Amino acid sequence: MPSAKTSLLKLVYLLAPCLLLAPNNLAHAQDKFFLPVEFGQGIIFQPGVDPYIFSAQAHPSLGFGANSNSLLIGASLAAVYDNPAWAFMWGGRLVLSVSNLKKKPINRGPQVTYGTLHLTGTVLMENAELRRVAGGIIIDVWEGALLIGPRVGYDRKRERTFLEVGLGRGF
pLDDT digit string, tens, across residues 57-79: 999 999 887 777 788 999 999 99
Q: Could you tell me if residue 2 is inside a domain?
A: no
Using DSSP, state whether 8 is helix, strand or coil.
helix
Q: Could you tell me if residue 21 is inside a domain?
A: no
pLDDT at 6 over 90: no
pLDDT of residue 105: 60
Q: Could you tell me if residue 59 is inside a domain?
A: yes
Q: Could you tell me if residue 142 is inside a domain?
A: yes
Q: Domain count for the chain, please give it.
A: 1
Burial string for 96-117 (b: 16+ CB within 10 Å, else e) reads: ebeeeeeeeeeeeeeeeeebbe
Q: Could you tell me if residue 17 is inside a domain?
A: no
Domain with 48, as residue range(s), is 30-169
pLDDT of residue 47: 78
**Which of the two residues, 168 and 68, has the higher pLDDT score?**
168
Q: Could you tell me if residue 35 is inside a domain?
A: yes
CATH number at residue 80: 2.40.160
For residue range 138-153, list pLDDT tens digits in order.
998 877 788 999 999 9
Q: Could you tell me if residue 25 is inside a domain?
A: no
| Nearest Cα residue to 34 out of 93, 89, 113 | 93
Q: Could you tell me if residue 8 is inside a domain?
A: no
pTM above 0.85, yes or no: no
